Amino acid sequence: MDDLGQRMFDHIGGLIESETCDGINAQGVHSSEVQSHQAKFIDGLRSARLSAVRFVQKEASRLETWGEMTTRHAIERAEALTALREAGLTQTQAAEKLGIPLGHLNSYIIRHRIPWTESQQGKKQKAE
């Protein structure tokens, strides 16, 4: 359980442990009525506590590990570059679409030995 989940768990647990509704008797409410309301309130807190614990456990089980995240990012980058390459874009056009400098894209392509056949070396397009 992460830190936030533990704090929620402890806070709700503290409310359950207190089991008091101060001030209710001062308004003239019968003590058996107060105990009934307290019991319902405490049952509700226990239910909320269980729900919070289940939620935190469920969320924690769905978190990616660092390695899984790194692998997913690598796959997504490869898929994006493949799609841009297959669309017939040059590296310059692909870098513009990705919003990154051409040098970064070119370094990535060289480092990962990605074949990029479409080129227009030395031909810069004029801005219209």
pLDDT in tens, 26-77: 555 556 776 777 778 788 878 888 888 888 777 777 778 889 899 999 999 9
Measured distance CA(55)–CA(51) in Å, rounded? 6
Residue 2 confidence class, pLDDT cut points 50, 70, 90 = low
Report which residue type is found at 26.
Answer: A
Query: Beta strands of the chain (E only): which ranges?
Result: none
- Global pTM reads 0.46
- What mean pLDDT comes out for the span 74-97? 91
CA 95 from centroid of its chain's CA atoms: 27
Residue 9 confidence class, pLDDT cut points 50, 70, 90 = low
Token pair of 93, please?
């056009």
Tell me what pLDDT residue 73 has. Answer: 93
Domain extent listing, the chain: 3-62, 66-111
Q: Which of 100, 111, 115, 112 is nearest to 75 (CA)?
A: 112
